[in-house]
């Protein structure tokens, strides 16, 4: 008997009678060992679950930090406006006000984000479009990074994001 396909599925309990299911399947080449392929699928599923959870935790922490920073910036801006209104005559106060824009999180549905993510992928994994396997990996990496800090206030892709994508794509 020749095994031509292997599949590994693992369920993770998330509480409240719910679970997340991670599943990978592979079609084997004629000379591939099905036991080794199954072990690799298992390792990939566990790595994906672990990486996603660490990304979610980081994103949650960063969101809390951004929220705290935004509150502080709002308070500082209000204080500055009050101080400016008291010191500057009304005519001089009509000039342009500078607003601090905040960092953006990655959204797969945003066309600009898609283009920028593609550019990051070209640097992180130049051959990512050449095989269906690498395309699938790129898609899974894209899904993992949904909601993670992506762009700085000027609209540049964060160096941490680029490094994390490169690391995720290099993990096999």
Looking at the structure, tell me whether residues 93 and 24 fall in a common domain.
yes
Looking at the structure, tell me whether residues 133 and 94 fall in a common domain.
no
Final residue belonging to a domain, choices 72, 100, 128: 100
Summarize pLDDT for 32-77 with one digit per residue, the tens: 888 988 889 888 888 887 777 767 666 666 666 766 666 666 666 6
Summarize pLDDT for 91-133 with one digit per residue, the tens: 444 544 444 456 788 888 888 888 888 888 888 888 888 888 8
Q: Answer whether residue 20 shows pLDDT above 80.
A: yes
Looking at the structure, tell me whether residues 151 and 85 fall in a common domain.
no
Looking at the structure, tell me whether residues 127 and 167 fall in a common domain.
yes
Looking at the structure, tell me whether residues 96 and 110 fall in a common domain.
no
Looking at the structure, tell me whether residues 111 and 73 fall in a common domain.
no
Looking at the structure, tell me whether residues 83 and 140 fall in a common domain.
no
**In 3D, which of 170, 113, 163 has the Cα closest to residue 142?**
113
**Residue-range definition of the domain harbouring residue 166:** 101-172
Looking at the structure, tell me whether residues 105 and 163 fall in a common domain.
yes
Looking at the structure, tell me whether residues 83 and 115 fall in a common domain.
no
Structurally, how many domains does the chain consist of? 2
* CA–CA gap between residue 86 and residue 25 (Å, rounded): 68
Query: Which DSSP symbol is given to 93?
Result: G
Q: What pLDDT score was predicted for residue 12?
A: 86
Looking at the structure, tell me whether residues 90 and 37 fall in a common domain.
yes
- Locate 127 and state its tokens: 């051959």
Helix (H, G, I), strand (E, B) or coil at 38: helix
Looking at the structure, tell me whether residues 15 and 72 fall in a common domain.
yes
- Is the torsion defined by CA of 164, 165, 166, 167 positive or negative? positive
Looking at the structure, tell me whether residues 94 and 172 fall in a common domain.
no
Final residue belonging to a domain, choices 100, 121, 149: 100
Give pTM, 2 decimals. Answer: 0.42
Q: What pLDDT score was predicted for residue 64?
A: 67
Q: What pLDDT score was predicted for residue 27?
A: 93
Final residue belonging to a domain, choices 100, 135, 163: 100
Q: What pLDDT score was predicted for residue 14?
A: 80
Q: What pLDDT score was predicted for residue 81?
A: 61
């Amino acid at each position: 008997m020749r095994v031509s396909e292997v599949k590994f599925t693992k369920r993770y309990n998330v509480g409240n009678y719910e679970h997340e299911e991670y599943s990978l399947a592979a079609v084997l080449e004629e000379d591939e060992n099905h036991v080794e392929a199954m072990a690799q699928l298992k390792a990939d599923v566990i790595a994906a679950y672990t990486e996603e959870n660490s990304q979610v935790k980081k994103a949650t922490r960063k969101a809390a930090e951004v929220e705290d920073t935004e509150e502080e910036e709002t308070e500082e801006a209000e204080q500055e406006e009050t101080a400016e209104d008291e010191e500057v005559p009304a005519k001089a106060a009509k000039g342009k006000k500078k607003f601090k824009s905040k960092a953006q999180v990655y959204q797969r549905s945003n066309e600009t984000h898609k283009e920028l993510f593609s550019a990051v992928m070209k640097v992180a994994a130049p051959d990512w479009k050449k095989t269906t396997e690498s395309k699938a990996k790129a898609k899974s990496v894209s899904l993992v990074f949904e909601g993670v800090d992506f762009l700085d206030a000027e609209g540049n892709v964060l160096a941490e994001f680029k490094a994390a994508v490169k690391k995720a794509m290099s993990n096999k």
